[in-house]
Structure 1
């Protein structure tokens, strides 16, 4: 994961984070079918792996990761997020992943630390 400097400030790179999150999702639920009994385990694993990947980059951010898994059906899911932060350094990304039986939505928020 790489960030871009604007002066001395660090900026969150959403594209790199999205790629890392997609890898985490694939690693946890990539080839499996939806199973209600495993959703809690899957969401916890995806969040933990995502945080681990982000933190290992050693960037000066605090991260918030949210994961939602939903079985494919005729029901709909609507989500919204709002943040009050510094648009020049902080950032977020949302990854929507699906296979034939489920949807997975992971939201990452990165808040720059003042060093």
Structure 2
């Protein structure tokens, strides 16, 4: 997979604390390193994206809702999915974070502060695309739309219900059917496939999942959404293949 992943590529993290989050590849290590003898890369991503704002909101509330919470970490190639999105050259991914900064806690904090300021700047004034309009492909706006849609449907189907093994199949069917129906209604030029995993959310329980595919990374995408209500945990993975 390393051949498809280069600095500046937008990827989706598939496992761990940041599963489903989007990130930018800062540096690649196709042959591994001494500390990590496997193919991996350094990424800078968005843990919490800006929220929707309206004109009625105060300036203080708008400033709070448009904050970006970033993260920086090393990720195994097997735990990320490259998308068709590439950040503009002026973003300079290599300047976001360095190996020296990742070696210390203070360095990681400094790197996250820089990434936060950079992403918030690009969010406030996105770079223009080929037509001169603000680009919507900087961090995969289509994937953000899919993630928000799936999260809403999971919340509506599960609500505050406790985990019931007899109901898990019904919940999966409802979530997948509604998600695919609404995704088809968006009108994007994609064919969609989706999987759904539902498990009890108990203290100390562990659920590891992984997903990968061999496709055109320039046109196809993947969105992994994870949501729980304290009793039930749901993971929905949507594969979008351009027609």
TM-score (norm 2): 0.41
Greater radius of gyration (CA):
2
The yes-or-no answer on 1:17 pairing with 2:146 is yes
Q: Which of 223, 232, 235 is the aligned partner of 1:102?
A: 232
Q: Between 71-80 and 82-91, report the one with greater CA deviation.
A: 71-80
Residue 169 of structure 2 aligns to a residue in which SS? helix
Q: Which of 154, 163, 183 is the aligned partner of 1:34?
A: 163
The yes-or-no answer on 1:89 pairing with 2:216 is no
Using the alignment, how far apart are the partners of 1:112 and 1:25 within structure 2?
A: 25
In structure 1, the residue matched to 2:4 is none
Using the alignment, how far apart are the partners of 1:89 and 1:19 within structure 2?
A: 21
In structure 1, the residue matched to 2:100 is none
* 1:39-58 matches, cutoff 5 A: 39-58=168-187
Residue 65 of structure 1 aligns to a residue in which SS? strand
Using the alignment, how far apart are the partners of 2:161 and 2:205 within structure 1?
A: 21
Gaps of 5+ in 2: 1-84, 86-128, 131-136
In structure 2, the residue matched to 1:60 is 189
What do the CA deviations read for 1:57-114 (whole angstroms, capped 9, x no partner)? 122211111010001233311111111111121101111101111110000000000x
Residue 41 of structure 1 aligns to a residue in which SS? helix
TM-score (norm 1): 0.84
Q: Between 98-107 and 73-82, report the one with greater CA deviation.
A: 73-82
Number of equivalenced pairs: 106
Using the alignment, how far apart are the partners of 2:183 and 2:239 within structure 1?
A: 11
Give the 4+ runs in structure 1 shifted more than 6 A: none
